Chains A and B, each alone.
Chain A
Amino acid sequence: MKKTFKFAAAAGLLLSAFSAFADTFVFTAIPDEDESRLQQRFNKVADYLSAQTGAEVKYIPVKSYAAAITAFRNDQVQLAWFGGLSGVQARKLVAGSEAIAQGYEDQFFKTYFIANKSAGLSAEETLSAALKGKTFTFGSKGSTSGRLMPEFYLREQFNAAPEDIFSRVGFSGDHSRTIAQVQSGAYQVGAVNYTVWDNELAAGNIDPEKIQVIWTTPTYPDYQWTIRGDVDARFGKGFKEKMRKALLEMKDKDLLASFPRESFVPASNDDYAPIENTARAIGLLED
């Protein structure tokens, strides 16, 4: 509690508000699709974790991976559902933090390159040279599936930065928006998380007459739960293990649908070495 006194402005006003969180274990999560009603959906996850670990668990929503990383670093949250890249960045900033579980799907995640039919591109085995000069949009800037991996494969294939390959490079900010923008032709080509594409297709939001997948990346590890290293000291010995067990044993379809994942499987920091190397290779991560 002492730390909360640091707030320069409005400290007095807010004191009572902060005390509500004393000794509470807090986590955050940004699902890769459907960010609506986060609080309600993840409060259920919080209740589950609370029941399993015996600690008081709360959820706070954030808007971006960068905000999640900041909260994790500030110790405002002790556990976060990160994307592949943001997890690597967060663990680099907080010594001792650890990836403890990932989604079943995240073991072999992939990105679809999608194109508007009017661009005259067709599905191929490799990224075709016909992409050059088109307009292209990533998802959000800090996304693994919407930015890191597609950029990596673009650079690998064309040996050039995306801005030099395409006539214009945008960041739609979100996978759903990438689909909407490519479908409308605002951008000709885009890179999108495969689960979002599959779900939107199933939901009938995609018109196959207008938009198609033209290339699929090789698989890579993506979303994972990362926990701070100091939780055992703060919440009791063995707390980290308790939390890992609770996550891995989450079977309730309703809870899992919030992420949305089939189930959670064990993960370690080493599983994300490929992501880290990729991030270094394209200059998103230094030293």
Chain B
Amino acid sequence: MRPDSDALVLLNRLPGVRPAHSSGRRLRRISLLFIAIALVCLFLADLALYPTDPWRELGRIGWGFITPYWADSSTLLSALGQTVAFALLALIISIPLGLMLAVFYHWRPVRMLAAAVRSVHEIFWGLLFMQLYGLSATTGLLAILIPYTGVFAKVFAEMFDRQAPQPTLAVSPLSSRISRYAYTLIPQSLGEMRSYCRYRFECALRSSAILGFIGLPTLGFHLETAFKQGQYSEAAALLWVFFILIASIRFWLRGWLLPVYAALAIWLLPQSPPLGSSYAWQFISQDIWPRALQQGDLAGAAAWYWREFSQVAWPALLQTLYLTQIALVLTGVIALLCYPLASQAISGRALRWPGRLLLLIMRSTPEIMIAFILLLLLGPSGLPAVLALALHNGGLIAFLLANHSEQQPQRADDPKGINRYLYLHTPRLYPGFLAFLFYRWEVILRESAMMGILGIATIGFYIDSAFEEIRYDKAFFLIVVAAALNILIDSLSRRIRRRAGADLSAGVG
């Protein structure tokens, strides 16, 4: 038997010799580069400002937010239960799948598979699976668990990379890869994995809620309706319930309760009518391919693809990229400005809870709603989109930074308040902050897809349009193009993170 090559690869990292350490200068250079790119994008992106008179509507929204109201508790409870059920079951399935892929991550096809499945937004997975499985629990579960499997694979594999190589050296290279990982890298990463899965559960709850926008019976279903129709008190009731759900995770998510929750979740999954026809096969074999291709007209098909690419996809990709780069830098600014609010080590006890509440609202309110409110204020353009993405993601990163900040060792002679923020915590957290930000890069790119209502032509806008217009060939092509861009950004971000030495003990995807 040939010894498994990967045990040998680990040997390259001899103890005592670490890869070039992250220097402040390198981090500064990368930060400045990204700021410069964002400044250039400011001129290229579609960011007009229109005068508006939003106060009547904003007043109603504000009033609704502080007067939440929901008429019947049974719908609310059922939507809440479904939201948790989808998130939980999707994670219970995707964590072991992701772990399996992570074990074989040295294998290129596995890496490509993982990158491909996580490059498509949950909403678009949902829209695709809806064609195959109708409006059903299967659609909802797959829409979450498929991209999440890809994310887990990547994050777990990166965790394995960070573990000490010695235990692996003590094991025979002739042992099977699965055995070896099960006894070394997996137990070595267990603590990190657990905290990452917790964080990911919060993300899954958001995904689950958002899938309501396309018809799953989760909180988002009612939230979208209420918000769309200006029933702001109802929308607020749902949002507050969602905030409380997120804020209370640590009180009710207990390992030993998981089997109970899983059983409950299975029981809670919605019923749906069966699919009657064998349409799924038709969808895969015909609908997603342009007619010319189905008729064997390759030249015609090539012309069709080229037209869609040059006239629709390419300009949309550029616009998406501009907005993403601006939103990325703005996310960083917001995160750095906001994290001290929620860090007891910096702001003290009194400010901590209001700060935490603010970050909770920022990260748990779906971007699309923030975008709508900003649209009323600023008029339709990329501007509300950029701000909404930055507020949402900035709130999320600020929350993670605040947690890290509170775990920093404290000494009696440390400076206090603003000086502690400027000279102690921010420099210490900065490499981790950049890592968070780069992890979030591709997520921001995907989320810009949701900004179609603003009349800005991101790639997601056209994907959504293609689904609405029942043009699955176009939708499929655009999803593939968008996924390709995402994979590109994904690998770029990985490379930059490595170069910058900006890495964290706990990754965030």
Contact = CB atoms under 8 A, between A and B. Distances in A.
Interface of A: 1, 3-4, 6-11, 13-14, 17-18, 20-22, 24, 26, 33-40, 58, 60-67, 69-71, 73-77, 89, 93, 116, 118, 135, 137, 140-142, 168-174, 176-177, 180-181, 183-187, 205, 207, 210, 284
Contact of B214 (A3, A67, A207): A67
B276 A74 contact: yes
Interface string B185-223: 000000000000000000000000000011101000110
Contacts of A169: 455
B248 interface: no
Interface of B: 48, 50-54, 56-58, 71-72, 75, 89, 93, 130-131, 133-138, 141-142, 145, 213-215, 217, 221-222, 224-226, 228-231, 234, 266, 269-280, 372, 375-376, 379-381, 452-455, 464-465, 467-470
Contact of B52 (A37, A62, A66, A186): A186
A76 B138 contact: no
Given A174-B229, A187-B380, 17 more contacts: A3-B276, A7-B138, A9-B93, A14-B136, A17-B137, A17-B272, A20-B271, A21-B273, A21-B274, A33-B229, A36-B226, A67-B214, A74-B277, A168-B380, A169-B455, A177-B229, A180-B376
Given A14-B136, A67-B135, A176-B230, A74 B275 contact: yes
A18 B48 contact: no
Nearest to A26: B273
Contacts, number: 195
Contacts of B372: 177
13 contacts: A21-B273, A36-B226, A62-B215, A63-B221, A67-B135, A74-B276, A140-B468, A171-B452, A181-B375, A185-B379, A186-B54, A187-B379, A205-B230
B133 A7 contact: yes
Contacts of B133: 7
B274 A70 contact: no
B138 A9 contact: yes
**10 A-B pairs with the lowest CB-CB distances in the bound complex, closest first:** A75-B276, A170-B455, A141-B468, A185-B52, A63-B215, A17-B271, A21-B273, A184-B54, A76-B134, A4-B274
Contacts of A6: 275, 280
A58 B53 contact: no
B264 to A, nearest CB: 12
Given A66-B470, A76-B135, A142-B469, A37 B141 contact: no
Contacts of A64: 214-215, 468
A64 B242 CA distance: 23
Contacts of A75: 275-277, 279
A24 B271 CA distance: 13
B135 A62 contact: yes
B153 to A, nearest CB: 17
Contact of B271 (A18, A35, A171): A18
A170 B51 CA distance: 16
Contacts of A63: 213-215, 221, 224
Contacts of A40: 72, 75
A14 to B, nearest CB: 5
A14 B275 CA distance: 13
Given A89-B470, A186-B380, A173 B228 contact: yes
